[in-house]
Chain A
Amino acid sequence: MSTRSYAAADSATMLRRNLRHALRYPSMTVSVVGMPIIILLLFVDVLGGAMSSSLAGASANGATYIDYVLPGILVMTVGSGSMPTAVAVCTDMTEGIVARFRTMAISRASILTGHVVGSMIQTMLSVGLVIGVSLLLGFRPTTDPLRWIAAIAVLALLVFALTWLAVALGLVTKTPEAASNVVMPLFLLPFISSAFVPLATMPTGVRWFAQYQPFTSIIDTLRGLLMGAPIGNSAVIAIAWCVAIALAGYLWARTVFNRGPAR
């Protein structure tokens, strides 16, 4: 049917709509990128002195604490970027506009595609901003352009995965407030990972959790790509996690969305 051939055009229309929302009401976008920057400043300038002494083994040849912590901060930025996605999707569903879209001869998938692409653009811009701030604060990656591209690709894959998960969470929550709460773990989980201190410094139970949760493998992969630390099998595990989360989020979102407006 004609709707299929219009999928691209409709998705572009929905993308324009979502970006216009973000531009018009930037407060949430600003707070989303502000939080990781505050945490970056806190850990580097306030706690940095104490933290670097505990890194003695992990940091090689003169690397400072900001070099160690930045990959974790970047992952947090992505986690925090899922909040406006979930809230925007939930708001859409609670208002009548999506019911209107559903009675129009448009590509239905474009409603979700518009959210995913719009959120990816916003979150990748946030990531870029955080990298810019960290460079000003003294972040000195020991990497080459190819590894930079690989690191950006890993981040983009993570953004894609968490965005689909956030879309699904936005669809199943009843109010925008609930949507913003339910994605909080995506922002908080990096605290219990290799983001801020090496796993070796943690007590056994916490270490076990930190070692096997998805963010650690992703952070270790980024750290390897940006700072030249050993990656090992982290990259494979990280990509597997991202693909699994993206697929689960996508299928979940699609199922809930197709179930219809009965909420």
Chain B
Amino acid sequence: MTLFSSPALTAVGLRKAFGPLVVLDDIDLEVPAGTVFSLLGPNGAGKTTTVQILSTLIPADAGQVYVAGHDLRREPDLIRAAIGVTGQFSAVDNLLTGQENLILMADLHHLDRRVGRGGAAELLDQFDLVDAAKKTAMTYSGGMRRRLDLAMTLVGDPSIIFLDEPTTGLDPRSRRGMWQIIRDLVAGGVTIFLTTQHLEEADQLADRIAVLDQGKLVAQGTTDQLKALIPGGHVRLQFADANGLESAARALGAASSHDDRLELQVPNDGTVRSLKALLDRLADHSIEVDGFSVHSPDLDDVFLAVTGHPRHEEVSIR
């Protein structure tokens, strides 16, 4: 019972800069035990840096952090004993087999030899890696590697697990599989700290979401609280010429237009009623529309809503 009354993780005034570049600027976080917390943000927002600091990998410049009840600066080893980390980049030993990787983890947790081997066999089964158990991790597909990575994290039964973009680069089926694994872990009482770029993923899994943008927390709350901030999506209208675009923009009032693409973006919650109202208005003004698409709220909309500026064009570094 006491486990649930005290938070699994708290951070106050967390700061980190690499040289002149401020990566985290005064971050406060609180994660209740036994819940899923999701840090949502685009590439370069500071998500990975946050995970690296909270998981004792790199030091913070300032801030008071407690993980599993231990002070990050004074007792990092006690924190390490309580956590498991699956980073964004694969942390498996490519030259060892799946089974050997798991036994390596068991040995480093100083588990009894028999217990370690039994645990490895169970995890291989649980993560659907039995057939690949004797193959080196080098030969694994992206999805298998992620599963092995997470299985290695679970050796030693950590009470808090950090997952840095656990589904990036996975196909939709593997992604759903990963979501199910995370739900099962939470059902077992584990606390999850998850980063993601996808609102849908945070929505599916998280009890609380914090939105990180350029090193600052711009919103924090439950999924519902955060969704209330989103203006419910939009409709995109495509026109044949500038005249059509102009008259539509006049007829519909508040809307953002992309002149070069002859496109108009109109806030709309996507219900049949409001769509009909929109189309009626266009018909009243005899405006010809070339293309029409409905967009449900995504991370871009959250960003627009909480930061007032659109998300930066992302440059993939991989």
Residues of chain B with a CB closer than 8 A to A99's CB? 57, 85, 87, 89, 91
Residues of chain B with a CB closer than 8 A to A9's CB: 107, 110
Q: Which residue of A lies closest to B155 (CB)?
A: A104
Flag whether B269 is at the interface (Cβ < 8 A).
Answer: no
22 A/B residue pairs, CB under 8 Å, sorted by A: A3-B77, A6-B110, A9-B107, A17-B104, A20-B95, A20-B100, A24-B95, A95-B90, A95-B93, A95-B94, A96-B89, A96-B92, A97-B93, A99-B57, A100-B91, A103-B57, A103-B80, A105-B81, A106-B108, A260-B59, A261-B52, A261-B58
Q: Confirm or deny: B96 has a beta carbon within 8 angstroms of a beta carbon on chain A.
A: yes
Q: Decide: A96 and B87 in contact? CB cutoff 8 A.
A: yes
Residues in B whose Cβ lies below 8 Å from that of A181: none
- How far, in angstroms, from A3 to B80 measured CA to CA in the complex? 11
Q: Tell me, yes or no, whether A21 is within 8 Å of chain B by CB.
A: yes
From known contacts A6-B110, A95-B94, A261-B58, infer whether A100 and B77 are also in contact, taking CB-CB under 8 Å.
Answer: no
Chain A residues contacting B56 (CB-CB under 8 Å) are 102-103
From A13, A24, A97, A260, B107 is in contact (CB under 8 Å) with A13
Cα A105 to Cα B159 with chains together (Å): 14
**Contact residues in A for B81 (Cβ distance below 8 Å):** 105
Inter-subunit contact A96/B96 (CB<8 Å): no
Binary contact readout B209-253 vs A (1 if CB under 8 angstroms, 0 otherwise): 000000000000000000000000000000000000000000000
Once the chains bind, are B57 and A104 in contact (CB under 8 Å)? no
Q: Contacts A16-B107, A25-B95 given; 18 further ones with Cβ under 8 A? A: A1-B77, A3-B77, A9-B107, A13-B107, A17-B96, A95-B94, A96-B87, A96-B91, A99-B91, A100-B152, A102-B56, A103-B56, A103-B83, A104-B109, A105-B77, A105-B80, A106-B108, A261-B52
By a CB distance below 8 angstroms, the chain B residues around A220 are none
Q: How far is the CA of A94 from the CA of B52 in the complex (A)?
A: 16
Q: Does B55 have its Cβ within 8 Å of any Cβ on chain A?
A: yes
- The interface centre, meaning the residue of A1, A9, A96, A261 with most chain B CB atoms within 10 A of its CB, is A96
A-contacting residues, B18-65, CB 8 Å: 18, 52, 55-59
Shortest Cβ distance from A66 into chain B, in angstroms? 37
Within the complex, what minimum Cβ distance (angstroms) separates B210 from chain A? 21
Does A104 contact B108, Cβ atoms closer than 8 Å? yes
Q: Which B residue's beta carbon lies closest to that of A21?
A: B95
Instruction: List 6 tightest A-B contacts by C-beta distance, closest first.
Output: A96-B91, A100-B91, A105-B81, A105-B80, A13-B107, A103-B85
Q: C-beta contact mask, A15-42 vs B, less than 8 Å → 1, else 0?
A: 0110011001100000000000000000
A17 to B106, CA, bound (A): 13
B residues less than 8 Å from A146 (CB atoms):
none
Residue of B77, B80, B91 touching A97 (CB-CB under 8 A): B91
For the complex, what is the distance from the CA of A17 to the CA of B90, rounded to whole Å? 18
A67 within 8 A of B: no
Given A100-B152, A106-B108, decide whether A17 and B55 contact each other with a Cβ distance below 8 A: no
**Residues on B with beta carbons closer than 8 Å to the beta carbon of A2:** 77
A208 within 8 A of B: no
> B residues within 8 A CB of A1?
77
Chain A residues contacting B59 (CB-CB under 8 Å) are 260
Contacts of A6 in B (CB 8 A): 110
Which residue of chain A is the closest to B82 with respect to CB atoms?
A105
Q: How far is the CA of A102 from the CA of B51 in the complex (A)?
A: 13
Q: Which residues of B contact A3 (CB under 8 A)?
A: 77
- Whether A103 touches B55, Cβ cut-off 8 Å, given contacts A17-B96, A20-B96, A20-B100, is yes
Instruction: Knowing A6-B110, A95-B94, say if A100 contacts B58 (CB, 8 Å).
Output: no
- Cβ of A24 to closest chain B Cβ, rounded Å: 6
Partner pick for A13 among B83, B90, B94, B108, CB 8 A cutoff:
B108
A101, CB-defined interface residue at 8 Å: yes
Mask: chain A, 157-172; 1 = CB below 8 Å from B; 0 = not:
0000000000000000
Q: Which residues of A contact B110 (CB under 8 A)?
A: 6, 9
B67 nearest CB across to chain A (Å): 11
CA distance A261 to B55 in the complex (A): 13
**A262 located at the interface, meaning its Cβ lies under 8 Å from any Cβ of chain B in the complex:** yes
For the complex, what is the distance from the CA of A128 to the CA of B126, rounded to whole Å? 46
A229-263 CB contact bits vs B (8 Å, 1 = yes)? Answer: 00000000000000000000000000000001110
With A103-B85, A105-B77 as known contacts, state yes or no: A260 contacts B58, CB within 8 Å: yes
How far in angstroms is the closest Cβ of chain A from B318? 13
Contact B57 A260 (CB under 8 A): yes
CB closest residue in chain A, given B94: A95
A81 to chain B, nearest CB (A): 19
Q: B152 contacts which chain A residues (CB < 8 A)?
A: 100
| Most A C-beta atoms less than 10 A away, residue of B52, B81, B93, B109 | B93
Chain A 62-95 interface mask (CB, 8 Å, partner B; 1/0): 0000000000000000000000000000000001
Distance in angstroms between the alpha carbons of A101 and B93 in the assembled complex: 11
Nearest-CB distance from A19 to chain B (Å)?
11
- Complex: how many Å from CA A196 to CA B162? 58
> Which residues from chain B contact A96 at a C-beta distance below 8 Å?
87, 89-92
> CA–CA, A2 to B94, complex, Å?
29
Q: Which residues of A contact B95 (CB under 8 A)?
A: 20-21, 24-25
B163 CB to closest chain A CB (Å) equals 13
B87→A262 contact, CB < 8 A: no
